Amino acid sequence: MTPGTLHVAITDRTIEIELIGGASWSLPVGPLTLVERELERAARPAPEQLTNALGIVSDHLDDVVRESPMVLDAVGVVVSGPHAMALAHVELGSDSVPDGYTLERADADEVFRTLVAEPIDERLHNPGLQPEHVESIIGTCCVVLAVMRRLELTGIAIAPQDD
């Protein structure tokens, strides 16, 4: 990755952030953490649960920005890992993601609105959504959208692995 790129690796219970050529941070929240805590494993999370999930990620990102404001000036933002790929699969409705794929914020918002309106048993029928991500996908949406909103991004690159 190019120096100055912000790499956001989403794991089950953490968000690992690295400014390539600079500092790194580990945020103590991930999609499964959100599902278990803020989203309370709800089949269809309530609006206040979603607000809380987005807010906790944003609060942790605020800490990163306060410590290192240059994060806001990153030359690009790449999100990676199986959870990021799961979101891309759902948005594309496919089991594959093209190299260099960028998830647009409007598309991420649309996927989020669609998925939160569906109970888990209906969510399973979304093209591209694999069963192992059916519960965590809402948490993943919260992570990605919080990053996009806090960093004021219109799009975010999706990478298959934590490179």
Strands 102-104 and 155-159: antiparallel
Quick one: pLDDT band at residue 161, thresholds 50, 70, 90? low
Mean pLDDT score, 104-116: 97
pLDDT > 70 in the chain, percent: 98
**pLDDT beyond 60 at 46:** yes
Mean pLDDT score, 5-12: 97
Q: Look up the pTM and report it.
A: 0.96
Match 């890992």 to its residue by tokens. 81
d(CA 63, CA 69): 10
Return the domain boundaries, the chain: 5-159
Query: Is the domain covering 5-159 a CATH 3.40.50.970 domain?
Result: no
